[in-house]
Amino acid sequence: MYARVAFPLPYESYYTYKIPDGLGTHIVRGMIVVAPLGKKPAVGVVLEVVRESGLPGIALKEISALGDPELTVPEDLLTLVEYTAGRYGTTPGMVFKSALPPGTLQRRKLYLYPGKQSIPQDCPREAREFLAKVAANAGRIAYSDIKRLKIISLKTVDSLIQEGILSVSPFKALRIAGSKKRWVKATGKTIPENLRNGTKAYHLLEKLIGSDECISTAVLKNQGFSASVIATLHRKGLVESEFRDREIEDIGRMESLVQERIFELTLWQRAILERVEASLNAGSYTGFLLYGVTSSGKTQVYLEAARLALSRGKSVLVMVPEISLTPQIVSRFERSAGVSPLVWHSHLTPTERALVYKRARSGEARLIIGARSSIYSPLKKLGLIVVDEEQDNSYKQDDPAPRYNARELAIEKGRLTGATVILGSATPSAEAYYAAKEGKLKLHTLPQRVAGKRLPRIEIISTASREGDRPKTRPVFPHGFWPVSERMHTELSIRLKNKEQVIVLLNRRGYSSSVICFECGWLGKCPDCEIGWTYHKARNRMICHYCGKEMPGPTVCPNCGSARLSFRGAGTERLEESLKNLFPAARIKRLDSDTATGKWESRDILDEFGKGKIDILLGTQMVAKGHHFPAVGFVGVIGADVGLSLPDFRASERVLQLLTQAAGRAGRSSKKTVTGLVMVQSFAPENPLFEYLLKDDYTGFLENELRIRRALKYPPFTNLILIEVSSTEPARALAGASGIKDEVCGNFKEKPFDVLGPAKSAIFKKGKLYRYQILLKLPTDYEFGGLNDRITSMVKCSRGFSVRIDIDPVNFT
């Protein structure tokens, strides 16, 4: 018997190994195994078990060890991995690298666990002794420690592994020292009469009696039961506690979650839920697009849908763009879904991720909330997949491969597992909207904000320097505090005086976007990318936002020595400085990737804002995500034009999405006193984009956008393949790109698709590399597998340049 094993390698899909005698029945498709690759042992996944190797006359190496059976990849996940590899032009092994807990396929160190097979009668004494030790310390003895232990020989251990009596895993058993958590449960079944009805203690006891299981005090705290309430019940002997190991507790919940009034479902919410219920009952795939304006109750639909699925014994996957930016959704699910969610995010340690993976696989975890890669969570009996903010770019992985789009994979996963899929957005992507128009997704709209909340009023402010004005004088800015305009300054003052909270968005980080010398005209550029430096004042560094190179901030011009340097263009850091100067008494906090560097910093800033401890929250697009802060009446947008000039056919779609999302943060209170107002500052207010924003006509924008895309052959009317060729020598990069183009076009008399390029990439030089790109526009029904194979085989033997292939790219720089 032979096994085809996938390793995380870019070009080879699998290698074939001989299965050692006696192991034949234990090795199955999906199993993690260890096998020699070159001179070193490597960890891979079995794709197939075959009778014949298909390689006659070649002596094949043998599989050396069986991996942790609890990590074995279930069939539907394997199929999804293989689909990803084919769809996005990579190998299954590379996809497993994203799909499996990080490190599964890379670890050098392996840990011993008891295997599936029982210990035979004739087992020698020292082997028995060793096996007992492994059983007592499962996952804590490393394979490399065996020699040092001097109980048993390495050879004997190998044969025990081969017989399946022992297994190895790249993961150490999870043990977080000194972090026991308290869990409580009720001692009796009735509430004693001396406990006053309506008190917190009464409600808590009622809750605990209603639950058969222990509840963690952390969860109770999140639900509003303080430690002292728990202590009160304890003193009366009404509850008992136990201490459990902390496992995956840190799920990014938010304390300040406003207790939302439970609104009766609207007609529109009920309409989609009825269809979802029918789909769940049928147990076959249906895809929905939930197009609901901001504050129209999309999350409530997700929650109700999740409850419907869970009550049918199915599991649920909820995908969000970024966990630390969406703590409110985590908290709402934790509070109301009925089962506790597990969170799948990039801040988990590999061992924690392995634990989440195993729990999903065993069926113990039934609700997972996660970002992009959670599409690969092996949930059992999957009933529902929700993709919130489906238009968000973060669902697409740019680098490294696999460059997949999780929104698309969600639909495929739904098809594979017969699950219902809901894509939700206030500003759907052109792709999803078109799919709905074509009937591939069932479109449901939520056209109104819930409970009489009104859409905010929108005002566009021109900050274009007027004809004849010298650029240095900008009369629209107060006291020289650019970039906040006079008009916005006035409104901010009023709102702050009214004790309202405000959000100010500027989607560019740093202090200034260019450094120029007044004397000689020197313009500071990253020497590698030839792109202007972004100045970061707090750290006094100039940073290249493309390659990350840094230089100390200049005090004099490096060209002429003049001290008259000008820092032009505003980023969030300068905006923060301006706001602090304009409103010295206000409590101001900045949220961007420079201030939110740690694990939960963005959540903490949002939490503080939710608790009313911040007056002005300013930042990049991070402040515009689906946050729900009812006290916010005003949202200001500075530099609405940022991003419009990018060489990307989705540029205007993205800017309008961002503006609409930002506007959606205003006026979410049901109180009549807080009226929503959004002010948008633009250098080019005549852009038709603002018409759509003012008319609140996102659908009109999409219709127009689809007309343009059809004419220019862009998605959703085509599939794009971006081939980027780079080298330290520009000539090699160009030669490589031309070679690939010939390979792509060579076989066709008449090409069934368009080929653009090779052309210099929008940023020609990135770091030390010169880059050329070729863009293919293929009809959507075009099978590009063969094309891909030809490019791959050419790339494999190329020298002197490297190639990056991005299928349906979302990032063109």
Site of interaction with Zn ion (CB under 5 A): 517, 519-520, 522, 526, 528-529, 544, 546-547, 549, 557, 559-560, 562
Cβ atoms 562, 518 nearer than 8 A: yes
Name residues whose C-beta falls within 8 Å of residue 412's C-beta, 6 or more positions apart in sequence: 80, 83, 87
In 3D space, the residue among 674, 678, 610, 672 whose CA is nearest the CA of residue 638 turns out to be: 678
- Measured CA to CA, the distance from residue 503 to residue 572 in angstroms comes to 12
Residue whose CB is less far from Zn ion, 323 or 516? 516
Closer residue to Zn ion, CB minimum distance, 37 or 551: 551
- Paired tokens of 154: 């390495």
Q: Which is nearer to Zn ion, 172 or 545 (CB)?
A: 545
Helix then strand then coil, in percent of the chain rounded to 5, is 35, 25, 45
Conformation bin of residue 768: beta by default, left when phi > 0, alpha when psi is -120 to 50 = alpha
Question: Residue 393 CB, nearest distance to Zn ion (Å)?
Answer: 22
List of residues 6+ apart from 164 with CB closer than 8 A: 23, 26, 66, 115, 116, 117
CB of 564 to Zn ion, least distance (A): 8
Q: Which amino acid is at 170?
A: P
CB closer to Zn ion out of 561 and 612? 561
Query: Residue 134: which of 104, 87, 168, 162 has the closest Cα?
Result: 168
Q: Which is nearest to 74 in space by CA: 377, 414, 411?
A: 377
- For residue 566, the minimal CB distance to Zn ion (Å) is 11
Whichever of 335 and 525 has its CB closer to Zn ion, that residue is 525
Structure token pair of residue 327? 């703590």
Residues 6 or more apart in contact with residue 805 via CB below 8 angstroms: 89, 403, 721, 722, 723, 724, 788, 791
Least distance (Å) between residue 648 CB and Zn ion: 19
Considering beta carbons, is residue 522 or 683 the nearer one to Zn ion? 522
Least distance in Å: CB of 527 to Zn ion?
Answer: 8
Minimum gap (Å) between residue 221 Cβ and Zn ion:
46
**What is the rounded distance in angstroms from the CA atom of residue 360 to the CA atom of residue 356?**
6
Minimum CB distance to Zn ion, residue 804 (Å):
18
How far is residue 461's CA from residue 474's CA, in Å, rounded to a whole number? 14
Query: How far apart (Å, rounded) are the C-alpha atoms in residues 435 and 414?
Result: 15
Residue whose CB is less far from Zn ion, 522 or 649: 522
Nearer to Zn ion, 544 or 680 (CB): 544
Please report how close the Cβ of residue 403 comes to Zn ion at its closest, in angstroms.
22
Report in angstroms how near the CB of residue 544 gets to Zn ion at its nearest: 3
**Complex with Zn ion: residue 486 or 550, whichever CB lies closer:** 550
Nearest alpha-carbon partner for 636 in 606, 610, 658, 663: 663
Phi-psi sector, 773: left (phi>0), alpha (psi -120 to 50), beta: beta
523 vs 538, beta carbon nearer Zn ion: 523
Q: How far is the CB of 321 from Zn ion (least distance, A)?
A: 27
> What's the min distance (Å) between Cβ of 524 and Zn ion?
10
Structure tokens at 437: 């128009």
Closest-CA residue to 692 (of 742, 723, 652, 731): 652
| CB nearer Zn ion, residue 411 or residue 526 | 526
Alpha-helix runs per DSSP H in 88-124: 92-99
Q: Which secondary-structure segment (H or E) carries 390?
A: none
CB of 548 to Zn ion, least distance (A): 7
Question: Taking Cα atoms as reference points, which of 609, 675, 668, 265 lies closest to residue 459?
Answer: 675
Cα distances (angstroms) measured from residue 469 to each of 181, 465, 564, 639 = 65, 6, 22, 19
CB 618 within 8 A of CB 606: no
Q: How far apart are CA 377 and CA 498, in angstroms?
A: 47
Rounded CA gap, 262 and 304, in Å? 12
- Residue with smaller CB distance to Zn ion, 280 or 526: 526
Minimum CB separation of residue 518 from Zn ion in Å reads 8
CA separation for the pair 554, 596 (Å, rounded):
26
| In the complex, least distance from residue 594 CB atom to Zn ion, rounded to whole angstroms | 17
Alpha helices in 584-687 (DSSP H): 601-610, 651-663
Exposure string of 312-351, with b = 16+ CB inside 10 Å and e = fewer, is eebbbbbbbbbbbbbbbbbbbbbbebeeebbbbbeebebb
402 and 98 Cβ atoms separated by less than 8 Å? yes
Q: Strand, helix or coil at 806? A: strand
d(CA 165, CA 115): 4
Nearer to Zn ion, 398 or 469 (CB): 398
Q: Is 237 helix (H, G, I), strand (E, B) or coil?
A: coil
Residue 388, token pair as written in the block: 């919130």
Q: Least distance in Å: CB of 474 to Zn ion?
A: 24
CB of 769 to Zn ion, least distance (A): 10
Identity of the residue, 168 or 557, whose beta carbon is nearer to Zn ion in the bound complex? 557
CB of 770 to Zn ion, least distance (A): 13
Closest to Zn ion by CB, 137 vs 728, is: 728
The Cβ of residue 793 has, within 10 Å, a number of other Cβ atoms equal to 11
Residue 375 CB, nearest approach to Zn ion (Å)? 32
Whichever of 9 and 547 has its CB closer to Zn ion, that residue is 547
> Which of 330, 557 has the CB closer to Zn ion?
557
Smaller CB separation from Zn ion, 490 or 562: 562
